[in-house]
Structure 1
Amino acid sequence: MANTQSDSRKLWWLIILLLVITAGMAATNVYLLARGDQVAGTEEKAEPVESETPLFVEIAPFTVNLQTDGYGNRLLYTGVSLQVGNEETREFLLQHMPQLRSRLLTLFSGQEAEALISPPGKRQLADSVLAMLEEPMAVPQPELAVRDVLFTEFIVQ
């Protein structure tokens, strides 16, 4: 009978040991899963960087006579888009489109054909357009947020 009681105690100790090991493994899994959720939660909470939707003011293409060096008539056919920073600038430029086109025609017609053929000449022309836009078109005029001048069509003939 003493032997049966000893076997019974060993069995109970073995069951308790297995329960402790199982509980420890379950606690470790719960901890790792909770920690993984916290790491994933911080990644989800970080706001994604949203790029601004670019705003453009498209100017219909036009043709101008260029300055010549005795080569006869030289023409520039160009289309221009202005990248703007806000809706207020876009609306202002659209409202003043005839004045804007007139200024561009005057600026472009004063250019020499040979200078416009090279990429640096085109970049200089874009810089001249930006400088021209700094001159007020109306009083009062909001500060214009023109970011870039893009040539959508460009033919020198």
Structure 2
Amino acid sequence: MAESSTLDAETRNGGGSKKSLIILICALIILLIIAVAGALYLTGVIGPQAVTGEVSADAARTNQPAIYHSLDPAFVVNFQHQSQHRIRFLQTKMEAMARDQEVIEALQTHMPAIRNTLLLLLSQQDYETMRTVEGKERLREAAREEINLILEAQAAVSGVEAVFFTGFVMQ
């Protein structure tokens, strides 16, 4: 009988050292995972790019102050009002916004092509759509896209971030 109680005590002690060994192995695995993740984070494989000191061109551009360029003179176009078969007129003044002086210079250089495209765009608009805020916002976005397409084709730059209406009269 004394022999079996000695075996039970040895089994309990041996079992306890196995649990300690498993806990130690788990702790080492967790430390290894943390070390690998930290190394990947510091090398820039995971995490934000700012840790490695790299700044993308877009991020650098958004840190620059806005530069506004007026698309003078005002645009005046006529278009037909669908329901009344009457000729309507639109006079609008616009400004383009970029953050790079190179884009502004390209905008000035290619102004004849830009104005032509914008005049065509404006004359294709629907009177009822242009009466709504949503219609005006879509037109602003379409104008920005058209300007950037011209700049990309003619000067291999783009970067007009927005087009703003500074005057808008329809009759």
Query: What's the TM-score bracket when you normalise by the shorter of the two chains?
Result: 0.5 to 0.7
What's the offset of the Cα at 1:140?
A: 5.5
Alignment TM-score, normalising by the size of structure 2: 0.58
CA distance in 2, matches of 1:135, 1:54: 20
RMSD after superposition: 1.8
Indicate the structure (1 or 2) with the bigger Cα radius of gyration: 1
Partner amino acid, structure 1, of 2:105: E
Aligned pair in 2 of structure 1 residues 55, 67: CA closer, same or farther (>3 Å)? same
Cα deviation code 1:29-76 (max 9, x no counterpart) = xxxxxxxxxxxxxxxxxxxxxx74320110121210124214211111
Q: Residue 79 of structure 1 contacts residue 154 of structure 1 at CA under 8 Å; is this kept in 2?
A: yes
If asked which structure has higher relative contact order (CA below 8 Å, sep 6+), I would say 1
Q: Residue 98 of structure 2 contacts residue 159 of structure 2 at CA under 8 Å; is this kept in 1?
A: yes
CA distance in 1, matches of 2:152, 2:141: 21
What's the offset of the Cα at 1:138?
A: 7.1
Kindly indicate whether residue 98 of structure 2 is the aligned counterpart of residue 84 of structure 1: yes
The aligned counterpart of 1:55 is 67
Q: Paired residue for 2:82, among 69, 83, 88?
A: 69
Kindly indicate whether residue 125 of structure 2 is the aligned counterpart of residue 134 of structure 1: no
CA distance in 1, matches of 2:135, 2:151: 26
Aligned pair in 2 of structure 1 residues 128, 139: CA closer, same or farther (>3 Å)? closer
Kindly indicate whether residue 74 of structure 2 is the aligned counterpart of residue 98 of structure 1: no
What's the offset of the Cα at 1:156?
A: 1.1
Segments of structure 2 that go 5 or more residues without pairing to the other structure are 1-62
Question: Runs ≥4 in structure 1, deviation > 6 angstroms?
Answer: none
Partner amino acid, structure 2, of 1:129: A
Segments of structure 1 that go 5 or more residues without pairing to the other structure are 1-50
The aligned counterpart of 1:119 is 133
Q: Match of 1:136, SS?
A: helix
Identity %: 27
Q: Residue 99 of structure 1 contacts residue 137 of structure 1 at CA under 8 Å; is this kept in 2?
A: no
Q: Match of 1:146, SS?
A: coil
Q: Residue 65 of structure 2 contacts residue 99 of structure 2 at CA under 8 Å; is this kept in 1?
A: no
CA distance in 1, matches of 2:154, 2:133: 36
Partner amino acid, structure 2, of 1:101: R
CA distance in 2, matches of 1:86, 1:127: 19
